[in-house]
Every structure is written in structure tokens, then in C-alpha cells.
Structure 1
Amino acid sequence: MFELTKTQVGLTNVNPRAELHGDEHQIAVDLSIRANLSGEILKQFSAELRDFLYKAPDDPDLAEQADPESPTQPRFPKMGAIKWDFEGTGYKVTVDYGLGGDSDIVLHDCKVDKFVFDPQNGGTVVTGFRIIAHPDTDVVGLLCDRIQQDIEITIEPPAPTTTAELFLPK
């Protein structure tokens, strides 16, 4: 299950819009996120994904120093970024607004989707994704104020709803 804890990301765009829920309009925002994350994040989507996208370095000097459990060279450097079809609902997203605690923006029942992974040398993966949230009107301005800036976010998955989900690998 996808999650991030106090992670620096880039808020590349905020798209305010309205959604129709029955006969009523509800404000919604799409938050476009881009982050340089460790290749370890790929294990949250599939146990084999990191090993598929990365290999041990070809350079013998680097290979000697490299941890065999942490491949760092993109296996297919000409492939470029890949899309990953994952959609999660019920997430809690906390945006640190600078003072911590009460100043944080907390968004409940969010959806995360549209993942894109771009493997980089050194084991970093540039990760892009979208968060769909339904904030109060006054929060939309605060989010728009952070466009094209680095922000610190925490993304918490929903609590497991079945016994089987308790035993799924993280």
C-alpha cells in the first residue's frame, strides 16, 4: 500500500474544479506531485518492480562498492518513464504549512492515482502522481499558494478493512 512520511515533494500544479455529486456541486482539487524518491518506494507497488527497473552497476569499481540488495543502475535507460496503473482511495494527506501542528493542511478521503516512475542512475526514481482531494474553500487558496514549490507531505493509506489486508506486504 502506497504511503509517504514527512517527505519533501514538489507541488507542480493545483487544479481547482467542481464535481457533481447527485444534484450538488462539490469543490475538488487535483494536486500534481513530483518527487525524487529512493527506488525502495517501488516495492510498495510490486515486490519485483525495483529489480525489474534497476540492476547492479556495469562499472566494476561501482559494482564492488554497491550493495547487491540495492541495484542502482537503470536496466533499460532508453525506456524512459513508465506509467503505473494504481489507484488508491481513502487516503489522509497532511501538508506541512510551515508552523506544524494546527497550521498543517489535513485532507481526508483522498484518492491517489496516475503514477509515473522514471528510474535514475544511483537508484533514485523520479515519481509523479496525482492526489484528488475535496478541501474547504479557504484551503484551496493555501494550496495554490504553494504551486511550483517544495512541500513536506505525509500520505497515510486507509486502515485495512479485512483480515487479509492486515497481512499484505507493505
Structure 2
Amino acid sequence: MIQISNDLFYRKIERSDLVHRVEWINNPEINSTLTFVTPVSLASTEKWFESTITDNSKLNLSFFLKENDEYIPLGFGGFIGIDRNNRRAELFITIGNTTYQGRGLGKKIVTFLIRFGFSDLNLRKIYLTTLENNERAKKLYEACGFVQDGKLRQHFYHQGRYLDCYHMSLLRNDVE
């Protein structure tokens, strides 16, 4: 485990994290704002895991909260589409453990990922997408400095309806 703050830790995703990932993605409260085709199975998630662990265009992390001497799984996040030539990547985050939502941990994780992306990955641009029904995430990303680049109208068919998708980004010189 690598420490982010006094009680917040991360590591690269491990096979033992997949059970939580499946549980969270299949949770209707969580997947209402995700674009995963659900339900997902542990078997399909294990295949996904095998394909991503050697893919240098992805960085999948698991996040944990330390309470007493126990590491409590919080969620997952990282970067996909890491483009080293153009120095950009797409950020993603999900706080799957609903007990810990709304406590500012998402902001801590996004802030960490921004710092990690610009310093460790040497990115110039970090971008993301969020669905129109995920107002909490949109506010979080704006609070972390992301600006809306555009909106793709009725871009995703999700849970019986078409939803708009917002594209947001943050440039390295926005935070320097």
C-alpha cells in the first residue's frame, strides 16, 4: 500500500480486489452513473483484469481507507487511454463503498490522481467524461479544476434512456 494521506492509501489493482469491483459495478446505486453494461461477472472481470495488467495505456488502482489497523476498500480509479506521445490520458474514479461516499474522499482521490498524472506520468492534459445524471461527479470535477469542453447529446443509452455525456479536461498549466 502506498500512502496518499494519513488515512488514504492506494495500490495497483490486484486479483483480490476484483470481488469488490464486481459488487460495486453491479450495485444499482453505483451503476446508475456508470457506462458499464451490467451485470458483470467475476469471470468476465478476471478476463478484463488479465488483459489490463500488461497494457501500458491503462493504470488501474484500488483505493483504501485505513481505520484502526484495517484497510477498508473504497473504490477504484486511475487512467485509461494513456497517450505518451500526446501526453494525455482519461481519468476515472468510482467510490464503490457507499458507506464512505459524501465524505470528501473522492476529492482527495481526484486531487491525488491529478498530481500523479502530471508528475509521475508527465501528462500535459487529463480529461474525463461523466453522464448528465451524475451531478455530484460534475461538481467534484469542477471543484478540482476541470472545465467542460463539450457535451455529446444523447450519447449513451443507459438503463432505458439516452443520456448526454459531458467531456471535461484539465491542463497542466491550469494547475502550475
Task: Give the TM interval when normalised to the shorter protein.
Answer: under 0.3
Higher strand share: 1
**TM-score of the pair, normalised by structure 1:** 0.22
